[in-house]
Amino acid sequence: MNLKGRSFLKLKDFTPEEITYLIELSAELKAKKKKGIVHDDLRGKNIALIFEKTSTRTRCSFEVAAHDLGMQVTYLEPSASQIGKKESIKDTARVLGRMYDGIEYRGFGQKIVEELAEYSGVPVWNGLTNEFHPTQMIADMLTIQEKFGHLKGIKFVFLGDARYNMGNSLMVTCAKLGMDFVACTNKNYFPDRELVTYCEGVAKETGASITLTEDVEIGTKHADVIYTDVWVSMGEPEEVWENRIRDLKSYQVNQKVMDNAKETAIFMHCLPAFHDLETVIGQQIYEKFGLTEMEVTNQVFEGVQSVVFDEAENRMHSIKAIMYATL
Ligand code: CP
Ligand code: NVA
C-alpha cells in the first residue's frame, strides 16, 4: 500500500483497503509507542499547522505525533499571520509548499482545504472543515476495532446534528467499511441527500447499509455503537442554540437510549462534549434555557459504556499514521 504524496482531505477519496491500511498502521504505531520503541523515521521533515478554528485534541495530536516521528512543527494562527486578510489561500499554499513537507488545515469550507492541497504541492491533511472531519474517522474506527475486534456488520447509530462534519464523515466511513449506519435524528438534520445517495452506492458494494430515521427506539435498537456530537458546531452563530435545543433534545443520548442498544454497546463522542455545567457555554445555556446536560447526559458520559477517552487518545496514533503514510 503506497499513499506517499497523497493529501488526506475526505474519506470519499480513499478506498476501503486504503482506509483499513490506515487503521492497521495506527494500531501498529500505537503498539510501538506503548512498548517504548523509538519511531522517529521522519527526522529532518517539517510540517505546518493552520488552525482557523480552536482545537485541543487535533492540534496536540499533530504536535505529539510529529515529535514522535522526529519532525519539527510550526503552528500558524491566522490572526498572527497573513492568511486570508493579506494573502489568499492559493498564494499561502505556494509559499508553505516551498518550506514544508506537509500542511494541516482546520477551518471553514472544504473548498479551502482542497485549494490548499491543489496549490501547495505537498500532502495536506484536513484537521476539520464544516463538511468533513477525516482524521477523526481513523481514530474512531481504530477504537471500534479495538473494542469489538471487527468493523464489518457493526450497527453504528449517530444521534444529533447528522448534516455537519461528523455525521457526514461517519456515514461515508461506515459505508466504505461495510457497517450499518443509522442517522437517528430530526429529519431536518439528516445528512445531505446527495451524500446519502453516494453512500448508498458505496454500500451496495461493501455490504453496508444506510438508514435515516426519526424514531429513537427503532433507530438505536440492537446498536453496537451510539455516537453523538455537539448540537451547535464551531463557527455557527449563537442564535441557533434555541432552535437546535428544541429540534434535537429528544435525540439526547441518555441511559434509556443506551439500555435500548445491545448490552455490549459503547458510547462514543468526538469531544468536546456538553455533559455538565463545568464549561462557560454549558453554564450560559443553563442560565438561558435551563438545560444541565445537552447531547449526552453525565451518567452516560461517565458510565462504563463510554470509551470517549480511548477515542481521544487514538486521535494521536491515527494522525501519526496518516502523516507517516503520506510523507
Ligand atoms: N475532536 C476534535 O477534533 O477535538 P478538537 O476540536 O479539540 O481538536
Ligand atoms: N461538529 C463539531 C466537531 C468538533 C470536533 C464542530 O465542528 O465543532
Closest C-alpha to 14, from 55, 60, 25, 212: 25
Residue 69 corresponds to which amino acid? L
Kindly report, residue by residue over 189-214, the tens digit of the pLDDT: 999 999 999 999 999 999 999 999 99
Residue 77 has pLDDT above 90, yes or no: no
| Residue in this structure with the C-alpha cell 519511531, named with its chain if needed | 39
Q: Which residues contact 180 (CB under 8 A, 6 or more apart)?
A: 153, 154, 155, 156, 174, 208, 209, 211
Kindly report, residue by residue over 307-320, the tens digit of the pLDDT: 999 999 999 999 99
DSSP for 116-146 reads HHHHHSS-EEE---SS--HHHHHHHHHHHHH
| Residue 79: band (very low, low, confident or very high) from pLDDT cuts 50, 70, 90 | confident
pLDDT at 11: 98
| Residue 260: band (very low, low, confident or very high) from pLDDT cuts 50, 70, 90 | very high
Q: Is 230 in the pocket of ligand 2 (CB under 6 A)?
A: yes
In DSSP terms, which residues pair with 74 in a beta bridge?
48
Question: Is the pTM for the entire model greater than 0.85?
Answer: yes
If you take atom 1 of ligand 1, which residue's CA is the nearest one?
Answer: 270
**Span 7-36, average pLDDT:** 98
Q: What percent of the chain has pLDDT over 90?
A: 97
Q: Which atom of ligand 1 is nearest to the CA of 106?
A: 8
**Span 116-138, average pLDDT:** 98
Q: Is 169 in the pocket of ligand 2 (CB under 6 A)?
A: no
**How far apart are the C-alpha atoms of 221 and 212, rounded to whole Å?**
14
| 81: helix, strand or coil | coil
CA 164 / ligand 2 centre spacing (Å): 8
Q: Is 165 in the pocket of ligand 2 (CB under 6 A)?
A: yes
**Phi first, then psi: what are they for 233, rounded to 5°?**
-90, 165
**Span 238-252, average pLDDT:** 97
If you take atom 7 of ligand 1, which residue's CA is the nearest one?
Answer: 56
pLDDT at 299: 98
pLDDT at 62: 99
Q: Is 166 in the pocket of ligand 2 (CB under 6 A)?
A: yes
Catalytic residues: 106, 133, 136, 229, 270, 315
Q: Is 164 in the pocket of ligand 2 (CB under 6 A)?
A: yes
Kindly report, residue by residue over 148-176, the tens digit of the pLDDT: 999 999 999 999 999 999 999 999 999 99
CA 8 / ligand 1 centre spacing (Å): 17
pLDDT at 78: 81
CA 59 / ligand 1 centre spacing (Å): 8
**Span 44-50, average pLDDT:** 98
CA 161 / ligand 2 centre spacing (Å): 10
CA 230 / ligand 2 centre spacing (Å): 7
CB count in 10 Å sphere of residue 204: 11
User: Which ligand neighbours the alpha carbon of 232 most closely?
Assistant: 2
Q: Which residues contact 162 (CB under 8 A, 6 or more apart)?
A: 168, 171, 183, 185, 189, 190, 191
Residue 81 has pLDDT above 90, yes or no: no
Residue 239 corresponds to which amino acid? E
If you take atom 6 of ligand 2, which residue's CA is the nearest one?
Answer: 233
Which residues line ligand 1 at a C-beta cut-off of 6 Å?
Answer: 55-58, 128, 136, 270-271
